[in-house]
Structures are given as structure tokens and as C-alpha cells.
Amino acid sequence: MTHQRHDRSDADLWQQIAVGDREAFGALFDRHAGAVYGHLLRRTGEHTEAEDLTSAVFLAAWRRRGEITLDRDSALPWLLGTANHTLANRRRALRRYRDLVERTPAPPDVPDHADDVAARLDAEQQARALRRSVGRLPRHERDVVELCVWGGLDQQAAAAALGVSVGTVKSRMHRARKRLGTLVPEELERNP
């Protein structure tokens, strides 16, 4: 029976998930967890954080299973949209935490390991430059790059996830590519 569930469309699986079918949810998870994790890994650059956020996305999907209506036959646009919202919420919470830490005096004997951690992974240099460059894009262009390039969505699916037209996605992608053509080399020169 499990093999049959993997052959079914997301929409068919979702009908079963909406009434609490855990096997159908497992099939949907197996189908899309890698894409959600990959999207979040490219956005965060941290394996552990991407794993935690992927779990949070699927937990949200399970909790909201009775409320969610798929726009298309694929659940991936909804999952990646939820991934973006989950990451934004995590970052807001982290900013609030950091603000609190900055207002709290540090104990005198606690060394700062931030520079050691930042310098230790040379293999991620280009990925960091790309993430920084994408981060410098206007939000609407950054969303399109993250969903289409990193998330693997086609332009129609990205339009559904963002609630805009396909033409808007195309024009935002075109502008983002032009900007990244200059931003990435600048980042690599600035941070060798």
C-alpha cells in the first residue's frame, strides 16, 4: 500500500492527510523533505538549522492539514512558502534574542569564538558570497531567486507561492540575474 501512496499526486495524498492519514503524510514528506531541506540549507548555510526548520515546516503542515488548500497539484509551493515564513519568524526571534544579549553585560571570562567559527569553513566561501549577494537584492527579487533557483520551483509555482502573476516573477528574475552578475564578484573581492 505504501508504494501506491508514492505513485499518487500530492492533491490525492492531501485529501487523505486532511483526515489524519499518517501514511499519506509520510509519503508526502518522503517526496518533498529533500527539496524543503535544500531550500532552507541554501538560505541559511547551516545544516542543523535547515534540519530544524524543515521539521518545523512539516509540523506546521500536519497541524494545519485541515485548513490548507493546495493551489496546484503539488504541495511544494505551499511547503516552500511556509519554509520562507518559518525562517523569517526564526530570524525575527533571533534578532530579538541578540538585542537582549547586547543589552546584557557579558561575563568577563567568556571568550568570543565568532571569528574562529566564521573563518573555519573555507569551502563555503562562494556559497556565503552568493547568499550575501542574494541578501542585497530587493526583497521581491530575492524571493523569486530563492524559490525558483534555490527551491527548484518553476515560475508558475513561484507565482502561486508569492501570490503574484507569472509575468511578475519573470521580470523580477530577469532584474535579479542582472544585479547578481555584478554583486557576486564584488562580494568575492570584498571577502576573499
CA distance 58 to 188: 35
> Do the domains spanning 1-107 and 123-192 agree at the CATH topology level?
no
pLDDT the model gives residue 142: 85
Among residues of the chain, what percentage have pLDDT more than 90?
Answer: 31
pLDDT at 91: 87
Query: What crossing angle do the helices spanning 155-162 and 76-103 adopt, rounded to 10°?
Result: 50
Stated pTM of the model: 0.56
Its CATH architecture, for the domain 123-192, is Orthogonal Bundle (1.10)
pLDDT digits (tens, 9 = 90+) for 71-101: 778 899 999 999 999 998 888 888 888 877 7
Q: Shortest CA distance to 14 belongs to which of 83, 74, 85, 84? A: 74
Domain residue spans in the chain?
1-107, 123-192
CB–CB of 15/79 below 8 Å? no
Q: According to the model, what pLDDT value does residue 47 have?
A: 93
| Beta carbons within 8 Å of 175's beta carbon, 6+ residues apart | 141
How many CB atoms are located within 10 Å of the residue 115 CB?
A: 8
Tell me: the pLDDT tens digits for 118-170? 445 554 666 676 777 778 888 888 888 888 887 888 889 889 888 999 999 89
Which CATH topology does 1-107 take? Answer: Rna Polymerase Sigma Factor; Chain: A (1.10.1740)
DSSP 108: T
- Residue for cell digits 485529501? 15
pLDDT for position 115: 56
| Mean pLDDT (the chain, rounded) | 82
Min mean pLDDT across 12-21, 41-50, 110-119, 130-139 is at 110-119
Cα(10)–Cα(26) distance, integer angstroms: 12
